[in-house]
Structure 1
């Protein structure tokens, strides 16, 4: 029986689409792909998720390393938090689950500056009974340690948990731990998935 629902944040409850965001500054799709590899898909970005360095340090480092991209790096680092907007249809489900008595948790790789921004801006974070965020615990998904922290901190039994994430390799770790899982993408209708578990039925 499901009692607890664990949500990833990025691209499950909050949009994070750098490719789409960068189209405001260039129409060169190849350049956008290269920029993403250099920045948001880089090891340096993972250092931010781990909470090891501030965004300002990574920004300075990347501008020094890639001066040819300064025309993209400047607006990106000035405005990137604007990407983090709610996925309204999924946020609505948080309220539905809360009303039905489920406890809600967040388990997410997230940067300190971004997390402070979204938690101040969006009230739905008040619905969570607990959150384990990568920069706070200095470990990231798919490392099993971050899952273990969540389980131990909130005394959760994996078989009573339903875990939703948009990344397959993170889902695989959750499944190996014993979570029930939903691999989310934009084509998935979460209400249908929850109804399979009998969670949103009246």
Structure 2
């Protein structure tokens, strides 16, 4: 049994249910057309560049509108209606976080890929973020997972020992990188499996 002193949470997909489809199903009548838009116009790499702090809406939105004028309104909605992509908190995982906070057995931090421009929406909406000692936001640091430098920054800023830190993320690539850096990892699929593992680690 490995001793765990710290739990480092990802947010999106673990504690927050974010998906652009929550917005764009309202704007597209056809799911196939919506999926093409999300694969080819406002695609995952384009979104990742915002999370990485390499693109700002002031530049990226007009650029896409110029290249895809037929989707002018849909592209604008990515910024103007971004909160509609947030379905809400993943309550079962938030409950786990709250229980860990009450038990006071581990330190709690978060490491999230999130645009600096949309981060204020999260701070305004999710009270559970106060449970963390600190949160490292990719868009504010201009680094994003799985870049090992953002893990190194978390180690330095939060004073972590990776071998005593459980990192929880829903991205396999992020988990693989964290594991290479010596973190104990949990590839998040659902809250029940997470709770079972925390029980095995005697944290729950």
TM-score (normalised: structure 2): 0.90
Moved more, 94-103 or 77-86: 77-86
State which of 84, 97, 101 in structure 2 corresponds to 1:98: 101
Contact 1:108 1:133 in 2 (8 A): yes
**Counterpart residue number, 1:198:** 202
Q: Distance in 2 between matches of 1:13 and 1:167?
A: 13
Q: Aligned residue for 2:24? A: 22
**Residue in 1 that maps onto 2:161:** 157
- Aligned mates of 1:119, 1:76 — CA distance in 2: 19
What is aligned with 2:75? 73
Corresponding residue SS for 2:8: strand
What is the deviation of 1:92?
1.4
Correspondence 1:189 to 2:179: no
Classify the secondary structure of the residue corresponding to 2:16.
coil
**Hey, what does 2:123 align to over in structure 1?**
119
Which of these residues, 77, 86, 89, is aligned with residue 86 of structure 1? 89
Structure 1 alignment gaps of length 5 or more: none
SS in 1 for 2:44: coil
Aligned to 1:41: 44
Report the aligned-residue RMSD: 1.7
Equivalent-residue separation in structure 2 for 1:65 and 1:53 (angstroms): 16
Provide the rounded CA distance (Å) in 2 between the counterparts of 1:10 and 1:72. Answer: 22
Q: Number of matched residues?
A: 199
| Equivalent of residue 184 in structure 2, options 180, 186, 192 | 180
Q: Name the CA distance, whole Å, in 2 between partners of 1:188 and 1:67.
A: 45
Q: Residue by residue, what CA displacement relative to the aligned partner does 1:75-133 show, whole Å, maximum 9, x if unpaired?
A: 44321222222111111111111111121111111001221111122211111112211
Mapped partners of 2:197, 2:81: distance in 1: 34
Q: Quote how far apart the aligned CAs of 1:6 are.
A: 0.6
